[in-house]
Copies of this chain bind each other. A is one copy, B any other.
Amino acid sequence: MVEKRKPIPVEEAVKKVMEFYIEQKSEKVPLEQSYNRFLAEDLVASHDVPAFDRSPYDGFALRSVDTESASSESPITFEVVGEIGAGYVFRGEVKPFQTVRIMTGAPIPAGCDAVVMLELTQEVADESKKIMQIKRSFKQGDNISYQGEDTKKGTVLVEKGTKINPGVVALLATFGYHEVNVAVKPVIGVIATGSELLSVDQPLEPGKIRNSNAYMIMAQIDRAGGEARYFGKFNDDFEDCYKATKDALAQVDCLITTGGVSVGDYDYMPAIFEKLGANVLFNKVAMRPGSVTTIAKVGDKLIYGLSGNPSACYVGFELFTRPILKTALFNKQPHLRKTKATLGVDFPKPNPFMRLVRGKVEYGESELFASPSGLDKSGVVSSLGGADALIVLPGGTRGYEKGMKVDVLLLEDLGGSEWPWSNIVPSYR
């Protein structure tokens, strides 16, 4: 009567999915539009920084050798022979006991090897020429930013696959990337299925709920750096769902369906996958929520049959779709960033399946704390709003206690991890 499905461990399921990939493609966008995109090539310093020896302060450039005997008792005076603002170059050469007034960022004039900060100098009254006086000595190199001391030309400053943050934007601008080679956003299709689904603008009806999964997943796709394409919601009708799925698949890099993957009489997705000629990678994962998650390959495309339960759907995306998407964005740490946190509550009931609890991470004085962000049930939607982490509780014959160190996967972190699924072992420290 009931189809028997064999659950596979989460680690194995993710491995199976990661054998698939979306082709990495790049495109040029104007610098102004590059923020939040992913670099499709390494960001290389196209020149030394500084590009020339320059002054980090406002002051006077001079020859340090001329300052050797300067002191409060016997100040030394210099003739001011010029002045250079940032962006200008002093064309002459500075001779003994001459100096040039120099602004922050301006290039050091030929002959000079030190800069005296404005605050340490005094103007001396003189009718015929401008005179400056100092009361201490300076060494060669004092207050000079040397060419290349920050960055040498040719240095790789940011690696391909990195998300472009404001600091990276600054580097792109500095090195003349007015157009930026970024990863093309993979197009991920979304289809919601279920006769119980109302549109968001419809009033509630007995037995029905509003379609929240589609909008949630579109935001998750956006967060991960992809482009979401929505194909609508469909009742539990085999022909409608089959046609919608087939049509959508042709237009996207990957397709996500929600609902209809369980073993109920109205769960048509398994049959639809079969009719599409799909190669099912797995249809049961030893995890909660989301044990019925089904993922299949149709031709060279992945199709995700995520659960209709919001939390299961959410977790399924983060575990199985996010890394595929990030990999297409040239990212080498495509999985959620993993870290350790102290468990804030007891989980006394053992569960044979790995649990991924929607949680919230707090920063303590010297450690992270993680607690559930709401009720830990797959149908529960309220816990999703406050979640910024998934608390990973391996399956087994025992529960977990408050105070244990557990692994958490960070949902909003820009970083990632190469492979978070090894060594997941809660422990007492």
Contact = CB atoms under 8 A, between A and B. Distances in A.
Interface string A1-15: 110000000000000
B87 A207 contact: yes
A149 B380 CA distance: 9
A196 B384 contact: no
A103 interface: yes
Interface in A1-54: 1-2, 31-32, 35-36, 43, 45, 47, 49-52
A171 interface: yes
Contacts of A413: 412
A381 interface: yes
Contact of A367 (B175, B310, B366): B366
A105 B194 contact: yes
A123 to B, nearest CB: 5
**Would you list the 10 A-B pairs with minimal beta carbon distance, nearest first?**
A167-B384, A87-B196, A339-B363, A87-B195, A173-B212, A166-B219, A170-B216, A86-B196, A178-B201, A58-B264
Given A86-B194, A210-B174, A31 B216 contact: no
Main DSSP-derived SS at the A contact region: loop
A85 interface: yes
Q: How many copies does the complex hold?
A: 2
A311 B39 CA distance: 22
Contacts of A223: 35, 165-166
Interface residues of A, number: 126
Interface string A199-229: 1111110111111111111111011000000
A262 interface: yes
Contacts of A217: 166
A399 interface: no
Nearest to A83: B265
26 contacts: A1-B118, A31-B200, A35-B222, A45-B382, A49-B380, A49-B382, A58-B264, A85-B236, A87-B197, A87-B235, A88-B195, A103-B264, A103-B265, A105-B209, A118-B263, A149-B375, A164-B219, A167-B216, A167-B387, A169-B212, A170-B384, A171-B381, A171-B382, A173-B211, A178-B201, A340-B364
Contacts of A208: 87
A395 interface: no
A314 interface: yes
A89 interface: yes
Given A58-B267, A150-B377, A166-B216, 11 more contacts: A32-B230, A47-B204, A49-B380, A86-B195, A105-B209, A167-B358, A173-B212, A173-B214, A173-B215, A366-B367, A412-B413
A151 to B, nearest CB: 5
A164 B216 CA distance: 11
A91 to B, nearest CB: 10
A204 B350 CA distance: 65
A266 interface: yes
A2 to B, nearest CB: 5
Contacts of A210: 173-176
A119 interface: yes
Contacts of A215: 31-32, 169-170, 172-173
